[in-house]
């Protein structure tokens, strides 16, 4: 690589780090992030059966493997338990501040950029790799989840790494490399499969894409099919073992949650109803193409027309070039299989369950990198081999402008998830530590508030739940049953 290449790479990484680290701990944990904090510390939000005051001992460490596994199965079965095990160890070392809980996602986002750059450089060229790095650095959904204490960025890193390992293993088998080399890549691929599925179960369609690719492009290569069949069988055995040892309970809970979504589909005719399939499908595709769906909410939907027209012109211009290579087409087909599988799965879930939740952009983060690679490759080829360089430049400008608009909106206002500017539970814990006496009881409307406050409190105390109280308020109840207002969890008073 030339000096200009290195300068561009270093500059893009600086930009990516700045966009992701800026404001990482500025906003309070939102709903799903609270679940992360609970599960990582092995805390259950379920209230005591007798509804009596519960003693919360700040000296007791609840983040054991058993507690983390139990909390995950009961409170967040859609996400694999491995993320919460990692976060349990992380929070024990670095605490439960907003910044600390989100930092692993930030790290995963940066490592994903590195892996993505290396992959595109090896299988395409340096120029395409730099374009991919640039696109991923400012891509809206990647920035959102790099600042979110959820499993998505880590699962994105492991699934994309599994595709890298998959392609390397296929290449090593084709080149008839040494058994030791093939064994190393096989173990690595198997490990990445397990890690990904136990981070988030929706990563399965990436691996289904791998399987379809093998069936179509390598169905005559017996050694390749035998090796990958062995990997997938071992993978299935581990999943079966997990199902027997707790996974079935999680599956049942997922079925219960699905019933809840179906009930909402019946009662809520605006978002979950299949009649809105076209709108939801459009939102899904828009996110896949590189524009997050908040543009539809905060900006005029017609602003998307230039972007879509640009993609159509880009594909048409590329089709007129003679740059197609067998290797590139195979890699692109692998990506398409993954994308098509997710689309088919999402649409089938719409008609099966009666809601469009599976078409929300949050769940297609695992396939977006592949579509970005396709767009980057097309743009680079059109720029290098076509007389219509203006089309490639215009599309690049539109992509950058759209994502910069989002970044401005994201950092200039409260973002789409968060309602509080600061973590109210930290503030409540500090105030309770300062004001609580031996005979006082901490009281609120919901038990989950007590569990979250306990993460940041240095004192042990009794907590009770009184459903008649105002939501989001925390009180101290003294020996005379007098209520002393501590804080409003919506951030209005502390």
What would the pLDDT profile of 257-283 be if each residue is shown by its tens digit? 666 666 665 665 545 555 555 555 555
Task: Indicate the DSSP class of residue 302.
Answer: G
- 61 found inside a domain: no
- 121 found inside a domain: yes
Task: Give CA–CA dist 198/82, Å, rounded.
Answer: 5
Which residue range forms the structural domain that includes residue 164? Answer: 3-25+97-412
Task: Give CA–CA dist 375/131, Å, rounded.
Answer: 10
Alpha helices, DSSP H only, in 243-367? 248-267, 277-289, 294-298, 305-319, 326-353
Task: Give CA–CA dist 19/23, Å, rounded.
Answer: 9
What would the pLDDT profile of 75-110 be if each residue is shown by its tens digit? 766 677 788 889 988 988 898 888 899 999 999 999
Q: What is the pLDDT of residue 100?
A: 92
Q: 13-17, 371-375, 424-428 — which is least confidently predicted?
A: 424-428
For residue 214, pLDDT beyond 60: yes
What would the pLDDT profile of 467-490 be if each residue is shown by its tens digit? 777 766 787 777 777 777 766 655
The residues near 69 (Cβ < 8 Å, ≥ 6 apart) are 81, 85, 246
Average pLDDT of span 305-326? 68
Q: How confident is the model at residue 428 (pLDDT cuts 50, 70, 90)?
A: confident
- 245 found inside a domain: yes
Task: Indicate the DSSP class of residue 245.
Answer: I
Q: Which of 134, 144, 92 is nearest to 5 (CA)?
A: 134
Q: 8-17, 29-38, 74-83, 85-94 — which is least confidently predicted?
A: 74-83
- 433 found inside a domain: no
- 455 found inside a domain: no
Q: What is the pLDDT of residue 493?
A: 41
Q: How many CB atoms lie within 10 A of CB 372?
A: 23
For residue 123, pLDDT beyond 70: yes
Q: What is the number of domains present in the chain?
A: 1
Q: What is the pLDDT of residue 459?
A: 76
Phi, psi of 259 (to 5 degrees): -60, -35
- 76 found inside a domain: no
Q: Is 116:136 a contact under the CB 8 Å cutoff? A: yes
Q: Which of 403, 338, 398, 328 is nearest to 364 (CA)?
A: 338
For residue 412, pLDDT beyond 80: no
Pairwise pLDDT comparison (398 vs 306), residue with the higher score: 398
* β strands within 383-478, DSSP E: 441-444, 461-465, 473-477
- 337 found inside a domain: yes
Task: Give CA–CA dist 197/207, Å, rounded.
Answer: 9
Percent share of the chain, pLDDT over 90 = 16
pLDDT, mean over the chain = 76
- 492 found inside a domain: no
Cβ-based burial of 308 (10 A; exposed 0-12, middle 13-18, buried ≥19): middle
Task: Indicate the DSSP class of residue 493.
Answer: B
Q: How confident is the model at residue 59 (pLDDT cuts 50, 70, 90)?
A: low
Q: What is the pLDDT of residue 466?
A: 76
Query: H or E stretch including 484?
Result: strand 483-488
């Amino acid at each position: 690589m030339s000096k200009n290449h290195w300068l561009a790479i270093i500059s893009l990484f600086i930009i990516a780090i700045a966009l992701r680290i800026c404001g990482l701990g500025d906003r309070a944990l939102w709903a799903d992030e609270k679940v992360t904090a609970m599960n990582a510390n092995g805390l259950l939000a379920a209230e005591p059966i007798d509804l009596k005051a519960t003693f919360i001992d700040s000296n007791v460490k609840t983040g054991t493997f058993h507690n983390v596994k139990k909390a995950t199965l009961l409170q967040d079965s859609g996400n694999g338990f491995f993320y919460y095990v990692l976060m349990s160890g992380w929070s024990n070392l670095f605490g439960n501040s907003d910044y600390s809980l989100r930092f692993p996602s930030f790290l995963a986002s940066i490592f994903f950029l590195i892996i993505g750059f290396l992959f595109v450089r090896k299988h395409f060229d340096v120029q395409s790799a730099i374009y991919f790095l640039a696109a991923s650095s400012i891509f809206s959904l990647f920035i959102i989840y790099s600042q979110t204490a959820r499993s998505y960025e880590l699962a994105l890193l492991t699934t994309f790494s599994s595709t890298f390992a998959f392609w390397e293993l296929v290449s090593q088998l084709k080149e008839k490399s040494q058994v030791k080399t093939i064994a190393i890549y096989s173990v690595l691929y198997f490990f990445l499969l397990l890690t990904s599925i136990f981070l988030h179960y929706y990563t399965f369609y990436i691996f289904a894409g791998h399987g379809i690719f093998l069936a179509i492009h390598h169905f005559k290569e017996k050694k390749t099919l035998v090796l990958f069949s062995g990997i997938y069988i071992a993978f299935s055995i581990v999943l079966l073992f997990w199902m027997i040892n707790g996974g079935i309970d999680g599956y049942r809970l997922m079925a219960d949650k699905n019933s809840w979504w179906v009930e909402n589909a019946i009662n809520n005719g605006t978002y979950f109803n299949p009649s809105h399939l076209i709108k939801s499908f459009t939102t899904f595709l828009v996110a896949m193409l590189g524009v997050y769906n908040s543009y539809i909410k905060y900006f005029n939907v017609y602003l998307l027309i230039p972007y879509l027209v640009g993609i159509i012109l880009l594909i048409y211009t590329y089709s007129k070039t003679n740059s197609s290579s067998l290797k590139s087409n195979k890699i692109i087909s692998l990506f398409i299989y993954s994308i098509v599988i997710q689309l088919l799965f999402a649409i089938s879930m719409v008609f099966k369950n009666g809601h469009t939740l599976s078409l929300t952009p949050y769940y297609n983060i695992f396939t977006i990198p592949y579509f970005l690679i396709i767009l980057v490759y097309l743009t680079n080829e059109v720029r290098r081999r076509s007389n219509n360089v203006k089309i490639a430049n215009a599309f690049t400008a539109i992509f950058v402008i759209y994502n910069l608009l989002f970044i401005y909106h994201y950092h200039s206002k409260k973002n789409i998830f968060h309602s509080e500017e600061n973590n109210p539970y930290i503030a409540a814990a500090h105030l309770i530590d300062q004001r609580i006496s031996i005979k006082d009881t901490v009281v609120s409307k919901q038990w989950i508030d007590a569990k979250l406050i306990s993460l940041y409190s240095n004192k042990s105390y009794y907590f009770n739940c009184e459903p008649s109280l105002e939501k989001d308020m925390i009180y101290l109840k003294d020996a005379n049953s007098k209520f002393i207002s501590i804080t409003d969890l919506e951030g209005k008073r502390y």
